[in-house]
Copies of this chain bind each other. A is one copy, B any other.
């Protein structure tokens, strides 16, 4: 077991806080419409090209009766990373914004934290100071805001935030910043008998709060970094579960295939990612027999979303690091790299 208690990559976390734009202003935000998938499965938001063709070819090979690479329906498993693959991860993971936004409520419940670091700095709203918090301080914030409450209380709080907080660039709820073409891939695969799973470095309980409504992925098909819970009883004898600061699964890098085995117990036939954190999942998927589909989303669209990574000759960011080594491996192993700029007609459902 890894020692990182937060389940979030340490370097990515530093980077995300370093570019922190602003707390999202929960109090000012208005309730949002959930992004409910609709329409029959199609790939309408994809331009014709190698990437779209790879998806269609894979589905044909694995589902058409008589195909030499036919896969029985019960074995059709597809796994999706979330941050940067299914929704915007830049400039900071939404879940980290959630944790920072939760600090005032945590301090209100436990007022002696008001003048204790790192809570004091977060409360100050001083972005520069927040960006300089040390890792142990950031982990204190994650532990204080994600654990120590009942599962039901956590779900209620996260749900409240998700319907009110807004991304500062698009002025929309985070759950609207999902990539419409990737949602169509999920729907297309499900329409062809695949079970679609999240396999995310983000918190399993956090993603489960909205995965069904936003992506059509039920909670039991969300694999993520997971802390343990502790069973206990309230004073009236009612049993309940408390979220504990004890990491069971660090669902990133090698932890992804390990998490897939733990939670699914089958090797996926298709896997989608966007960073070095997804490399082992794609390797594990590709090592299976028959037709397999491995795809990487490349962020090369500075205008409609963001551009970062090797293909643009840009320096790697720590968030969603897509290294040259991964790019080379993808080429060598014939994984498909998706260009957001070239392959996607639109990025978001709200795009024209």
Chain A residues with a Cβ under 8 A of chain B: 1, 74, 77, 151, 195, 204-205, 208, 212, 218-220, 222, 226, 228-231, 238-241, 246, 248-249, 254-255, 257-258, 261-266, 280, 283-284, 287
Name the B residues within 8 Å of A266 (CB-CB). 219-220
**Which residues of B lie under 8 Å from residue A283 when comparing CB positions?**
239
Considering the chains assembled together, what is the distance between the CA atoms of A50 and B287 in angstroms? 52
Query: In the assembled complex, how far is the CB of residue A237 from the closest CB belonging to chain B, in whole angstroms?
Result: 9
| A212 engages B262 (CB within 8 Å) | no
In the complex, the answer to whether B74 meets A262 with C-beta atoms within 8 Å is no
- Set B208, B212, B239: member contacting A284, Cβ < 8 A: B239
Known: A195-B220, A229-B258, A231-B257. 12 other contacts (CB 8 A): A77-B220, A204-B265, A208-B265, A219-B264, A220-B264, A222-B265, A228-B262, A229-B262, A230-B254, A248-B249, A248-B262, A263-B263
- Counted per complex, copies of this chain come to 2
Q: Determine the chain B residues whose CB is within 8 A of the CB of A258 once the complex forms.
A: 228-231, 241
CB < 8 Å neighbour of A220 from B151, B238, B239, B265: B265
Secondary structure at the A interface, as helix, strand, loop or mixed, is mixed
Across the interface, name the chain B residue whose C-beta is closest to A219: B265
Q: Contact at B229–A261, with CB atoms within 8 Å?
A: yes
Q: Contact: A212 with B265, CB < 8 Å?
A: no
Q: Which 8 A-B pairs have the closest CB atoms?
A: A219-B265, A231-B254, A220-B264, A239-B283, A208-B265, A231-B257, A229-B258, A239-B284
Nearest B residue to A244 by beta-carbon distance? B258
CA distance A262 to B264 in the complex (A): 12
Give Cα A240 to B267, complex, Å: 11
